[in-house]
Structure 1
C-alpha cells in the first residue's frame, strides 16, 4: 500500500495563524494563552473514510493560566494532493452546501449546550475547510463500515434525523410568519436544491455498468437477464427524478448522505444512547421520507427492514412530531401531512434509496485504506468516477466476502423490485 500523501500536510498548509487563533478563542474564550504546538495527522490511518475531502485530526497544545491545555479537533479540507477531486468538489458546490447548513444552524440558534446534541458545532467553516471539536474524547465513535445496524442503532439515529428535520420545518414556519408569506430555505440557499450526481451524469451511467457486472459476475438469481446495464440505467434515471421538492407536501433540508461514517454514536454499557449527524456536503431539499429510507438502505439488511419497518418508522414520526412547534403543526395539518401521508412517501422514496445504496456501496463498504488507494489516486480518479469502476470493485469483492455479499444483496433487491418486473 502506498504512503498516504496527506501525511506530509502541515497545519500551515490548511490553516493560517489568524484562523488557528480564532479556533482557539472559540474553544477557551478570551483568556490569555500561548501556543505550544499544533500537530496534524491524517484521520484515514484511524479508520476515518471520506470521499469529498481530506480528513485530519489536529491536536493543539496551549499554555493557559500557567497550565497546559490540550484541544483536540477534527478537520476536513479540500484535497491538497488530488486536483481532479478538488475541482470535482468545487464544481458541484459540495462545500458551499455544508457552509449553508452551518450558517442556518447558527441562525436557528440550536447549537447550544445539549446533553444529547443531534449535530455538532463548527468552530470554523468556509468553502475550503471545516474545523470541529473532535468528538472521540467525548465518547463518540463510528461503527465498522461493513457492520449493519441493529434496532438500537437505527432508533437512536432516526431520533437525530427527526430532530434535524423538525428544526428546519420550524425555521421555515418562523420565517413564513415573520414575512407573512410562505417561505422556503432554498430562496436564500438555492444551491441546496442543486443535484450534482444523482441525475443523468457519467457517474450514474458508470454505476449502471458496475451493477450489471456485479449481478452477472456474482448473482445466481439474475445473471441471465438480457441487456441488464440498460435496464439498470433506466431505473436509475427515473429514481433520480423522484427526489425533488414536491409542492403538495412537507419539504425539509435532507442530509442525503447517511451512511455509517456520517453518524457518530455515544454508548452507555454498550448500548447507543445518542447519535450525532456529521458531513452536510450532499444536502438536498425534499420530503423527509427520502432521508429515512436512504439511511435505512445504506445501513441495514433487507431482513432487518422487513422485520422492523413499522417500529422504526413510527419511532421517527413520533419524535419528529414531538419537536415541532405549534405553528408548524398547524402548517402540516393544512398540508395534510400526517403519519399515513408519511408512509406513502416512504414507499415512493424507496427506489431512490435503493439507488443510493447501490451507488455508494462500492465506496463506503470498502475499508478506508483500500478505498483511499482505489478511489483517491489523481491518475485514475476521473476514469473510476465517470467511466468504469468495475475492475477494482469486483477484485475487492473477490477478496472480501462480506463486501461482496452486501453489494450483491442490494443489487439483487433492486432487480427484484424494479428491474425484473
Structure 2
C-alpha cells in the first residue's frame, strides 16, 4: 500500500493567518509539526494531516493548538474520482454554512447543540482542495474501536445526535422552501460518475459473490445477492434521487464509527458529548440512508440485529422531539412511516453490508485504501477477496444475511 505523504503547502506560511484571526493575543509560532493522522485503514478517501503548533502569545505565555487538514490524495485516479464527486466543496459547504445554521436554530430556542468541529478557510490559496478544522482530539474527543463496535450507550448517543441533525435540516428545508445547493440535491452521482462507478463496483461485487461460496453461505442468500447485484446501478441512481413526497433530511452520508467522536469525563469515564466529522457525502435524502449505514456498520454485532428495531424507535422518538422543538409544521413522520421507508429502500442496507462493512472490519495491519480498489488484475482481486473472506466479516454475514432475509430486505 502506498503511504500517504504530506503536501508541501501544509506549512507555517499558510496557517499563520488562521492563528492571527482566531487565537486571541497570538504573537508567533514557536513550533510547527505535521504528520499523517490515523493509522492504516482508518482513512479511506482523503489524506488527513494533523498540524500541531506551539504558539507564543503577546503576554509571554504559550498555547498548544492543533488542526486537522483533509486534502486530496496524490493518486491521480483517486483525486479525479473525488473531484467528480465534489467531496471537498460539499464538505466545506456543510461546515461553513449548514452546521452553524443548524446550531443557531437550537441556540434560538435555548438549546446548546454542536454537531462538528470549528471550520476555517485559508487566506493563501494552497492550489489544492482541502478542509481545515479544529482537532477535536486536543479537546479529548476520541473514536471508539471500529472493529469491536459501539456498545448500546455509544450507539444511542450517536443516534440522538443524528436525530438532532436530521430535525434541524428538515426544518431548515421547510423554512427555506427546500432550496439547497446543487451538490446536496444531486448527491454523489452524475453522468461522469456513473461510468466510473459501474466499472469499479461490478467486478468487486462479482468477487463478493464468489466469496459467499467460499464462506459456505446458504445458496438461497447467494441467489438473492446475485439478483441484487444485477440491478446495482439502477438501484443506486434510484436511491440517490429523493422522493419529494416522503420525509427527507440532509443526511450525513458517511456515518460510521470513525466519523463519530466521543468525549468522556476524565475522572469517571462517563460519556459527555458526541461530534460528527466527514460530511463529504452529505445529501438531501431519506433518513434511512444514514440509519442503515450507521446501524449496519458501527454497533457491536451482538446488538446490531437484536436491538435494531429498538434503535430505530429510539432515533424516531428523538427525531419527533426535536422536530416539535424547532416548530416543524409539516406532517410528522410516524414510526410506521420510518419502517416502511426502511423496507422500500432495502437496497441501501444490502449495499452497506456488501461494501462498507467489509472494509471497516479489516484489521489495520491488513488494511487497504482507495488506491487498492482502483487497481486491476489478480493482485487487486486478491485484496478484495481478502476483504470478503475476513473471518470477522464472515461472522457478521452469517448473522445479518438471515436477519435481512427474514425482513424481506434481500428481495427486489
Which TM-score tier does this pair reach, normalised by the shorter chain?
0.7 to 0.9
Alpha carbons 1:219, 1:412 under 8 Å: kept: no
Find 1:105's aligned residue among 74, 81, 98: 98
Q: 1:22 to 1:173 in 2, by over 3 A?
A: farther
Deviation digits for residues 267-291 of structure 1, max 9, x if unmatched?
Answer: 2434534321110111121122221
Is the counterpart of residue 253 in structure 1 residue 246 in structure 2?
no
**127-136 vs 104-113, which deviates more?**
104-113
Deviation digits for residues 299-330 of structure 1, max 9, x if unmatched?
Answer: 23665244323432222122222222567432
Q: Which runs of structure 2 are paired with 1:277-296 in the superposition (5 Å)?
A: 277-296=276-295
Q: How far 1:161 moved relative to its partner?
A: 0.5
Q: Which runs of structure 2 are paired with 1:349-388 in the superposition (5 Å)?
A: 349-371=345-367, 374-377=368-371, 381-383=373-375
Alpha carbons 1:243, 1:352 under 8 Å: kept: no
Q: 1:402 to 1:167 in 2, by over 3 A?
A: same
| Alignment partner, residue 217 of structure 1 | 214
| Alignment partner, residue 298 of structure 1 | 297
Is the counterpart of residue 135 in structure 1 residue 126 in structure 2?
no
Deviation digits for residues 334-385 of structure 1, max 9, x if unmatched?
Answer: xxx33332232233233312212311123232234532xx3354xx55225x
Alpha carbons 1:294, 1:354 under 8 Å: kept: no
Q: How far 1:253 moved relative to its partner?
A: 0.8
| Alignment partner, residue 152 of structure 2 | 151
Alpha carbons 1:14, 1:77 under 8 Å: kept: no
| Alignment partner, residue 114 of structure 2 | 117
SS in 1 for 2:172: helix
Q: 1:160 to 1:397 in 2, by over 3 A?
A: same
SS in 1 for 2:329: helix
Q: 1:358 to 1:198 in 2, by over 3 A?
A: farther
TM-score of the superposed pair, with normalisation by structure 1: 0.81
In the alignment, structure 2 segments of 5+ residues that lack a partner are: none
Alpha carbons 1:165, 1:320 under 8 Å: kept: yes
Q: How far 1:230 moved relative to its partner?
A: 4.3
Whole-angstrom CA distance in 1 between matches of 2:273 and 2:161: 8
| Alignment partner, residue 342 of structure 1 | 338
Is the counterpart of residue 78 in structure 1 residue 72 in structure 2?
yes
Find 1:39's aligned residue among 33, 42, 54: 33
Aligned length: 395
Is the counterpart of residue 25 in structure 1 residue 38 in structure 2?
no
Whole-angstrom CA distance in 1 between matches of 2:359 and 2:231: 21
SS in 2 for 1:206: helix
Q: How far 1:189 moved relative to its partner?
A: 3.1
Q: 1:62 to 1:303 in 2, by over 3 A?
A: closer
Q: 1:142 to 1:217 in 2, by over 3 A?
A: same
SS in 2 for 1:117: coil
Q: 1:95 to 1:413 in 2, by over 3 A?
A: farther
SS in 1 for 2:219: coil
Find 2:202's aligned residue among 205, 222, 237: 205
Q: How far 1:191 moved relative to its partner?
A: 5.0
Q: How far 1:163 moved relative to its partner?
A: 0.9
Q: 1:90 to 1:420 in 2, by over 3 A?
A: closer
Whole-angstrom CA distance in 1 between matches of 2:401 and 2:96: 37
| Alignment partner, residue 4 of structure 1 | 3
Deviation digits for residues 156-209 of structure 1, max 9, x if unmatched?
Answer: 00011111111111212332xxxxxxx2243x3345423337896223313321
Alpha carbons 1:145, 1:365 under 8 Å: kept: yes
Q: How far 1:106 moved relative to its partner?
A: 5.7
Whole-angstrom CA distance in 1 between matches of 2:2 and 2:200: 28
Q: How far 1:123 moved relative to its partner?
A: 2.3
Alpha carbons 2:350, 2:409 under 8 Å: kept: no
Q: 1:54 to 1:280 in 2, by over 3 A?
A: same
Q: 1:381 to 1:395 in 2, by over 3 A?
A: closer
Whole-angstrom CA distance in 1 between matches of 2:169 and 2:221: 46
Whole-angstrom CA distance in 1 between matches of 2:343 and 2:379: 31
**108-117 vs 126-135, which deviates more?**
108-117
Whole-angstrom CA distance in 1 between matches of 2:378 and 2:22: 45
Q: How far 1:260 moved relative to its partner?
A: 1.3
Q: Which runs of structure 2 are paired with 1:400-411 in the superposition (5 Å)?
A: 401-406=391-396, 409-410=399-400
SS in 2 for 1:21: helix
SS in 2 for 1:253: strand
Find 2:47's aligned residue among 54, 60, 64: 54
TM-score of the superposed pair, with normalisation by structure 2: 0.83
In the alignment, structure 1 segments of 5+ residues that lack a partner are: 176-182
